Structure 1
């Protein structure tokens, strides 16, 4: 019996050793310094099973084998970046200056790779030397090139019973010191409104009608309003709507017959043009717009004088801007008390900016 017991101990030790070697080798393959791995443990309501499903991983083209920690935060900030280290640092500094009221916060920086699988060295150095002053901080390189689709759709995977607020920020924005205070109020007020799919931080946007793409202005007297197009310059999804969108996307993205046509929406025209050029994968928002269209959903926007916002976009040179254009709007510097007394029935406007009666 003692020999059998010794054999079991030896096998257990060998198994543990093999597992440790495997994890270490994977870690060093994809990251030079830090990449946190945790046990594959989650509740029945989590996305673990779908993250580990090979077909789902293939469809989403995202990094689903990176296991999210089991901890729930008051706020999870997701920053997505590829190769713009200077704009990334500007955003990170603005996040350090924001007010979090002592709440639990985690900042995640997700780094995409080139199509050849290479990480940008300047971005890696920037993330390694940055220190987040308000909570936990993790740098997560994708295992492979995922593009904007993978960066946006596969990074926040909420549990169905989570009370966590998340905000997704591309590297070319900066935020107001009050961005989180605002998000707490709008999530508390509107998260049980099934038609509201999330909250845009940006102060400036355009109308999306094919015949009118002038600046979007909300109705007079309305501190916030609802618009049927996502605002991606700092977006905080509504949990249930985001989960539904992710589930829908996993099948819709493999449907070659899906033309994503939205009547009178300029983005549908862009998508057709981008598809002809083979650059349509940079337009992830059309999927969200189409999902919102077929489900009668809206995004909540602020409506402050002069397009003042909780975020601003610097229009850095990249996929969507050929040249540096400077910031789109000023940031909110003085808290607005109106945000603490939000309307029960926000005004709806259509893609031409007209009030929906």
Structure 2
């Protein structure tokens, strides 16, 4: 039996054409669903512009509270700051869903910066932020109206008023947190918020940043210690000190000739090196370090065995890291396998550590 080759060719052409059309329709549908448009285009979504925060926020430009309709009193506000690292952002957000918030009222605010050159928004990052389902409370996605950089992301996303009682924690997008971070953070605030020398609370300890050759070594019978420099790998500001710091920064930063140097510490050397290449805008923390120095403030850190942490920095590629972190340099998260409620029993007078690793009772 012979087959008509011409007829077969026609059928194959029809099948090929149909397949191409089907694939095209699928691609268009996916692009439409996830808004995966060119990174060089401005976000077309209406609610992507401006700030949509609930709760008590201070609006710097209008000098007024912005208490939106439907706002509610919070126990914890989580602020995640991001720009164009969608994979990092999703990993961070997923870790937040795994946290035990012990039934408290939680709000997740995601802030997305724009490109300093094109002023565009990463559409993939925006789509992931919008699509993510936060299981423990309300979520808002906020796109800055203009490029604000790390300074704006850290200093303009939480400006609490005097009547604000919520705990806030600020996370960069390459951070993941322990399921127990909130329990520790809440206990730390309860223990030390009354102190006037506390600038805030860090979720990861400061060993790798200490000026001392051997790092910071604190006896393990002290479950917390205080150190003059904040830990930015998951930082929860003390509400009163943060307001004071922001007011001081708004005034001090007007003077272009002023440099927030603290003599004799490694961080000042880093800041000066950034200035030589015009990258000092990547180190907002130097201003906080200076403010803490002149007011003799300390940040509270957890002191856990084997360098376990409540937050892990994956050191993804960005301003400060190349993205090539080695496995043995990655800090370990507290998990169900090593969680001990005794960690929450913090000393009234924690160990005090100076810039150079010398310790004394606080």
TM-score range, shorter chain: 0.7 to 0.9
Cα RMSD over matched residues? 2.5
Counterpart among 123, 129, 136 of residue 125 in structure 2: 123
Q: What is the aligned partner in structure 2 of residue 225 from structure 1? A: 225
Q: What is the aligned partner in structure 2 of residue 73 from structure 1? A: 74
* Residue-by-residue CA offset, 1:142-197 (whole Å, 9 max, x unaligned): 01111101000110111212110000000011000001111111111111111011
Q: What is the aligned partner in structure 2 of residue 320 from structure 1? A: 320
Distance 1:303 1:279, change over 3 A: same
SS in 1 for 2:229: coil
Superposition pairs of residues 1-357 of structure 1, within 5 angstroms: 32=45, 34-35=47-48, 47-48=58-59, 50-52=60-62, 67=66, 69=68, 70-115=71-116, 116-203=118-205, 205-209=207-211, 212=212, 214-325=214-325, 328-333=330-335, 334-356=338-360
Aligned length: 313
SS in 2 for 1:166: strand
Question: Is 1:73–1:164's contact at 8 Å kept on the other side of the alignment?
Answer: yes
SS in 2 for 1:51: coil
* Residue-by-residue CA offset, 1:4-60 (whole Å, 9 max, x unaligned): xxxxxxxxxxxxxxxxxxxxxxxxx866153598999998xx634x3326xxxxxxx
Give 1:308 shift: 0.2
SS in 1 for 2:91: helix
Question: Is 2:83–2:125's contact at 8 Å kept on the other side of the alignment?
Answer: yes
Give 1:330 shift: 0.9
Q: TM-score, normalised by structure 2?
A: 0.80
Question: Is 1:197–1:241's contact at 8 Å kept on the other side of the alignment?
Answer: yes
Give 1:214 shift: 5.0
SS in 2 for 1:353: coil
Structure 2 runs not aligned, ≥5 long: 1-41
> C-alpha distance in 1, partners of 2:55/2:168?
19
Q: What is the aligned partner in structure 1 of residue 8 from structure 2? A: none
SS in 2 for 1:34: helix
* Residue-by-residue CA offset, 1:291-349 (whole Å, 9 max, x unaligned): 00000000001111111010010011110012331562111114322233211111100
> C-alpha distance in 2, partners of 1:136/1:259?
40
Q: TM-score, normalised by structure 1?
A: 0.81
> C-alpha distance in 2, partners of 1:129/1:314?
23
> C-alpha distance in 1, partners of 2:109/2:263?
37
Question: Is 1:39–1:67's contact at 8 Å kept on the other side of the alignment?
Answer: no
Distance 1:319 1:102, change over 3 A: same
